[in-house]
Amino acid sequence: MNHDPVRITVLGIPGWAVLWVLSVAAFGVFGWRVWQLIGLLRRARPENRFDQLGQRVLRFCRHVLLQPRLFNERSIGLPHLVIFWGFVLYVICFNWSLVRGLFPVLPIPYPEEVAVVAMFLKVFAVLVLVSLGVAVVRRIFFPPAHLHLSWDANLILSLIATLMVTTLLNMWWTHMITVLCFLVYLPYSKHLHLLASPFNVFFGNLRPAGDLSIAGGSEELASGSSKWNEFTWKQLLSGFSCAECGRCDRACPAATAGFPLEPQQLVQKLKKHTIHGNGAKLVGETITEDEIWACTTCMSCMERCAVLNEQIPIIVQMRRHLVAEGQMAKTLQDALQNFNRYGNSFGKSDRMRAKWTQPLGWKVKDARKEPVEYLWFVDDYASYDPRMEEITRQTARLFQQAGVDFGILYEGERNAGNDVRRVGEEGLFEMLREKNQQAFAKAQFQTIVTTDPHAYNALKNEYDLNGTKVLHYSELFDRMIQSGSLVPVKKLGLKATYHDPCYLGRYNDVYEPARRVLKAAGVELVEMPRNRCQSYCCGAGGGRIWMEDTAGVKERPAESRVREAAALGVNVLVVACPKDLVMFQDAVKTAGLEGKLTVKDLTELVQEALKP
Amino acid sequence: MPSNIWVLAETWRGQVTETTLELLTLGRELGGKLEVVLLGNKSLAASLVGADNVLCAENVAPTPEAVAAALTQLVKERQPQAVLVPWTNLSMDAGALAAAQLNAPFIGGCKDIKADAGTLVAQCVVYGGKLEAAVAATTTPALFGVLPGARAASSGNAPAVTDVTVTLPEAKVKFTKYLEPEAGDVDITQQNVLVAVGRGIQTKDNMELANDLAAALGGAVCGSRPVIDQGWLPLSRQVGKSGMQVKPKLYVMLGISGAPEHVEGIKGAQLIVAVNTDAAAPVFNVAHYGIVGDALEIAPALTDAVKAKK
Amino acid sequence: MNILVLLKMVPDVVEELEVAGDGKSLDASFLRTIINERDDHALEQAILLKERHGGKVTVVALDAPDIDDTFFTAIAKGADRAVKITDAPEGLTTQSAARLCAEAIAGLLPADLILTGVQALDDLDGLSAALIAQQLNFPYVGVVTAVSAGGPTATVLKEFAGGVRGEFAVTLPAVLGVQAAEKPPRYVPIAKVRAVMKTSKIETVSAPGEAAAAQIDVRQLAKPVVSSHAEMLDGSPEEVAGKLVELLAQRGLL
């Protein structure tokens, strides 16, 4: 630098004095605004996210510094990472410049006067400008659906570009003033995500995703949230952290199908209400009931979110409120009443729960009366739905053939309550859990195995089982094949694809056992484009199976999925969840794929492979 | 003293109802003098064929309290052994009030009554049709609420008519007007083929399956009360006690349990086919052909088979 | 508005109903009871009226197994007071039970409306609503599906057949036999019922006097003797559909 930029005078006032005035003003507004925002968080309900600091630091390093989630969509991961690191460098250098500018007496150089630093600044300026270029081209020519193209975003891209250009052109004052403007603008713009998301990641959920309980939460949470300050501070922080990228909307089966729900919009509405709090009601008006009920709780949104937002607990909080007010579809109401009275959603007597065992011709062990190694938690659909009965019996025969020592709880079993909780009837969930745990306490068994991923999730993550392991039946089959107690005698030689159930895969990271089982049975497995953690929900979860579709649905999630399967050229779609079976069988009919695609449960294929 | 059986006539839209005539047939079987209480237009007395005598009082308001008061007075004066009251929305109120005023039993839901050594024993439908009770009246007079369809309509000669006067208490219930159901696009009472849906259809979306089947068969969709209560079909499509009485050539029932209130509406159906997942559902006692299965699977299969055949 | 609602528990027909050894009554070992569906609607109608016009809703019932749960649920839905009639004699019929309840209800007057279900599936010798109306000398309309109040008379809609309804003006106080409430009975979350259980009390009142002698004799209770049973068609959906279509074609119905 040729001269000290703060040594100039403006209308007789020394440059450093002007800098002081501008800086104090800018930092003042910025600080006040941030303080205001923090104040809003403090008025919200508590939640304990202050444990396991070591883990949190690691999480921060991974998701804030390395940002793997940004790479889950093409061509934007690297540019954003570059912009981020450029930002880090520029923040350091800005503060360095500012200190030097405000205190000219300090014997330190400006950052640009240090050769290495100047080089980094220029290199990053170019890299950032290229990255911005990619971002702009993406926005204008290839915008992904649900990407919020706003003036806010354009202004930010322009400001960043200005900062880079002013660095390359050595325009010190313009650069500094631009930064100060950016500073003031930041906490009022979508770029608030810059400040909030590192904290959002740091305070992220360290417990299993399948556990909806809130640590350190107040009891009032159980009756739901209808106003912004009835959510927890962490839930509000999600609103501040949302970068309006639209990943959640693109992944959401409800949004894609044409339901009123768009997770991004939901989070943004929460943010707007928190900050501006206009006259309208948050729950019921700003966010409609249809939006809230449209969610299948598949967790695709949370799996994709670049800032690790937790949309589902927010939705469940609102559902809890609607349930407390009795505002829900009649069919859902009936299902809940049936759960309460009969322990199942079918409205059939709990005494009929084990009726499916009768045609077997032999007695399935009663785990309430004799000790067994495996307690088979059958759950509702497998027990009561006429379409599932025969498959449930086949599973029983398979277990017997493989020499598994198993038993069931007969009438002592109630629905595990996973979806009851996700629908927002927390009290009913607790009652079901209590009854099941009482039944478990009286029985003697080593391990629980279940055919229903929803039950699997609740039992594994939300029940107190004193360390008893819970297995999905695909995991048990896998073990049995590997240990040799189940030996497929013939290779099926058919081409099939496998649908990862949401509550087994995305929620609990169990992807491979079913695949190994299918390979052992000689099935040629072809993967759907949306596989494993990107599996596309069948649409039955979150209580949706007890609700009706709203008008304006373009393509139901299950139909989209079966078309995806059929397009692979396979004739079998393998499922490992009773609700998937029911949903996909219906979808095959309504999508006109009868005869082209058959839906089979994993059990059916294993059974076929065992026949000589 | 010869036993006297009375029938409370009910009139609807200016005519004596068919149920009244069915009760006359039943009343005749129970022996003794058969008289009818007609609280309405005297000109209707002639249609009460098969009765011995008609006790007619005009100008009785069509409210439960007025009808009950009139009936009570007449019963107290003339002491019949029993009064047969149609077990319908129209008459059960008045019958119940009169019985209370007379401190007499009102045995409802009767599908049959027999005389057993001077005592009248009714066969009553209870617990939604799952069980039946044989109930004897141990005091007289006794009132019986008889279900439509217990007998064929009576025939014979027009009865004699006796004018009677009744003093009515000051009215605390006043009839204002009738509310007609919104005229539907389809009059299900005129259809030859009906596809009826019940709770077993589970959701509104599944109604499509019923629509498809009805279209394939050339008929219309109707429903039992729960389906109308849910709002999945308009009131004009309700079949049963509070709905329409239908007489189609073919009545296909999907997911209907066969509770008496619905079954009442299909007495005139010629061929009844029922689909239900519960083999013990009462509907299979009413249907001519039955299928134990899920209506959601059977209906589309049936639609396809019908289309293939046509 | 001061509204009284009479509830009763009836056998739950979702369960299998077995006849006891004596051939005249239900086998208690398989029995589960549930609130009479019509009474549930009566309660809902009462709460709707309270929401519209203000006032109090009192629920009354004879002591029975599981009646406490029903009381607490009613309070959680919005009822203000619960009164249980205890020490009633055994072997009550519909009529004698209703008259007993009418006596107890008389002790809870004055009220504007008394609502109860128009019928129950275990009724044998009378309709409770009409019996109560007669005993209290109140006007009565049954098979009611809508009520508007607000003055000395209430306007009620009563169902006839063919979807036709009749409008009646009823002088209050009155007894109404409810067929259906204007909205389906509301859902109340378990948490709310549990909270009510902790904070609310159920009042008790002793059953007055003796029960009237029964005027009926139940000679037999049995599964319906079916004169006919459907001819059953078996097989897969496709097979069954095929058989049925043949039958229909033979009869010229296709």
Residue from B275, B276, B297 whose CB has the most chain A CBs within 10 Å, to mutate: B297
Starting at the earlier edge strand, list the strands of the sheet with C113-117: B173-179, C165-171, C153-159, C140-148, C174-178, C113-117, C2-7, C56-62, C81-86, C203-206
**Of residues A386, A387, A589, nearest to B300 (C-beta):** A589
What DSSP letter does each residue of B210-268 carry, written as one string?
HHHHHHHHT-EEEE-HHHHHTTSS-GGGBBSTTSB----SEEEEES----HHHHGGGTT
Q: Which of C131, C214, C254 sits opposite B310 (nearest CB)?
A: C254
| Summary mean pLDDT of chain A | 93
Of B230, B294, B300, the CB nearest to A386: B294
CA distance B92 to chain A (A): 30
The Cβ of residue B79 has, within 10 Å, a number of other Cβ atoms equal to: 11
Percent of chain A with pLDDT over 90: 78
> At B15, which helix (H) or strand (E)?
strand B15-16
Q: What is the pLDDT of residues A308-346, one digit of tens each?
A: 999 999 999 999 999 999 999 988 999 999 999 999 999
Cβ pair B93:C240 closer than 8 A: no
CA C34/CA C40 separation, integer angstroms: 10
CA angle (B105, B109, B111) in 5-degree steps: 115
pLDDT digits (tens, 9 = 90+) for A112-142: 889 999 999 999 999 999 999 999 999 999 9
Which sign does the torsion angle of CA A253, A259, A265, A266 carry? negative
- Residue B294 touches partner A, C-beta closer than 8 Å: yes
pLDDT at A591 > cutoff 90: no
In a 3-state reduction of DSSP, which class is residue C158?
A: strand
Residue among A164, A310, A210, A289 nearest A541 (CA): A210
A339 in Cβ contact with A353 (< 8 Å): no
pLDDT value at residue A323: 95
Confidence of residue B2 (pLDDT cuts 50, 70, 90): low
Q: Give the number of other Cβ atoms within 10 Å of residue A141's Cβ.
A: 7
**CA–CA separation, B69 vs A340, rounded Å?**
45
Residue C196 has pLDDT above 90, yes or no: yes
The reported pLDDT for the residue numbered A612 is 64
Mean pLDDT of A400-417: 94
Residue B3 has pLDDT above 80, yes or no: no
The residues, any chain, with a CB within 8 Å of residue A539's CB and separated by 6 or more, are A253, A254, A257, A296, A556, A557, A558, A583
Q: C153 - beta bridge partners?
A: C171
Interval A233-273: pLDDT, tens: 999 999 999 999 999 999 999 999 999 999 999 999 999 99
**C64, exposed or middle or buried, with CB in 10 Å at 0-12, 13-18, 19+?**
middle
For residues A248 and A203, what is the distance between their CA atoms, to the nearest angstrom?
A: 20
Which residues of C fall within a CB distance of 8 Å from A423?
none
- Integer-rounded Cα Rg, in Å, for chain A is 28
- Taking the C-alpha atoms of residue A22 and residue B214, their distance in angstroms, rounded to an integer, is 78
Question: What six digits make up the tokens of B93?
Answer: 């109120």
Span of B166-175, C75-84, C126-135 with lowest mean pLDDT: B166-175
Mean pLDDT, residues A486-506: 92
The answer to whether A223 touches C191, Cβ cutoff 8 Å, is yes
Give the number of beta-carbon pairs within 8 Å between A and B.
Answer: 15
Q: Check A337 against C193: CB less than 8 A apart.
A: no
pLDDT digits (tens, 9 = 90+) for A262-309: 999 999 999 999 998 766 789 988 999 999 999 999 999 999 999 999
How many angstroms from the chain centroid is the CA of residue A524? 31
Residue of B nearest to A546 (CA): B203
Which chains does chain C touch, 3 or more C-beta pairs < 8 A?
A: A, B
pTM of the model: 0.90
Share of chain C above pLDDT 90, in %: 77
Rounded average pLDDT over A567-594: 92
What is the 3 state secondary structure string of A315-358? HHHHHHHHHHCCCCCHHHHHHHHHHHHHCCCCCCCHHHCCHHHH
Chain B hits for A549, Cβ within 8 Å: 205
Helix, strand, coil shares of chain A as percentages rounded to 5? 60, 5, 35
Q: Left if phi > 0, otherwise alpha if psi is -120 to 50, otherwise beta: which for C116?
A: beta
pLDDT score, position B234: 87
Question: Which member of A342, A349, A425 has the closest CB to residue C190?
Answer: A425
Report the alpha-carbon distance of residue C107 to residue A589 in Å, rounded: 62
Would the pLDDT of B237 be above 50? yes
Quick one: DSSP state of residue A287? B
Confidence of residue B242 (pLDDT cuts 50, 70, 90): confident
- In the prediction, which pLDDT does A1 show? 58
Contact A549 B230 (CB under 8 A): no
Q: How far apart are CA B125 and CA B149, in angstroms?
A: 13
The ipTM is 0.90
Q: What is the mean pLDDT of residues C118-146?
A: 95
Q: Does B76 touch chain A (CB under 8 A)?
A: no
Task: Supply angle C-alpha B203, B204, B207, rounded to 5.
Answer: 105
Using DSSP's 3-state secondary structure scheme, residue A56 falls into: helix
* pLDDT at A481 exceeding the cut of 50: yes
Instruction: Give the separation between CA A483 and CA A88, rounded to whole angstroms.
Output: 53
CB proximity A340 to C under 8 Å: yes
Q: What is the pLDDT of residue A402?
A: 86
Whats the size of chain A, residue-wise? Answer: 612
Q: Does A549 touch chain B (CB under 8 A)?
A: yes
Integer Cα distance of A49 and A170 in angstroms: 44
Chains that touch A (3 or more CB pairs under 8 A): B, C
Given a cut of 50, whether residue B1 has pLDDT beyond it is no
Peptide bond into C173 cis (omega under 30): yes
- Which of A237-246, A490-499, A505-514, B180-189 is predicted least confidently? B180-189
Quick check: helix, strand or coil at residue A575? strand
